[in-house]
Amino acid sequence: APIFKCVKNLISWGICEQDAVKMASFNAAKAIDEKNKGKIAEGCDADFIAVDKEFSLTDVFIGGKRFEK
């Protein structure tokens, strides 16, 4: 399953949103030794998503720029 669906599943199973996102981003990047992924910080890649209150995808950013379909 796509990682975003996995995060939504974790939340539906009672994992708090912050922990679910961390599992799919920071922890995953750390597990494969990707130092510029998994966090928003100076010097990192700035690839991230934005979601609404229902945790539905609203925007995608790649290299800090909004991705347009």
> Is the alpha carbon torsion for 24, 19, 43, 57 positive or negative?
positive
CA angle 30, 37, 52 (to 5 degrees): 110
pLDDT score of 38 more than 80: yes
Mean pLDDT, rounded, for 55-69: 89
Q: What is the mean pLDDT of residues 32-60?
A: 89
Name the helix (H) or strand (E) containing 59. strand 57-62
**Whole-prediction pTM:** 0.73
Give the confidence band of 14 by pLDDT, cuts at 50, 70, 90.
Answer: very high
Q: Which residues contact 25 (CB under 8 A, 6 or more apart)?
A: 37, 38, 39
Instruction: Give the pLDDT mean for 46-63.
Output: 89
Indicate the helix (H) or strand (E) that contains 49. Answer: strand 48-51
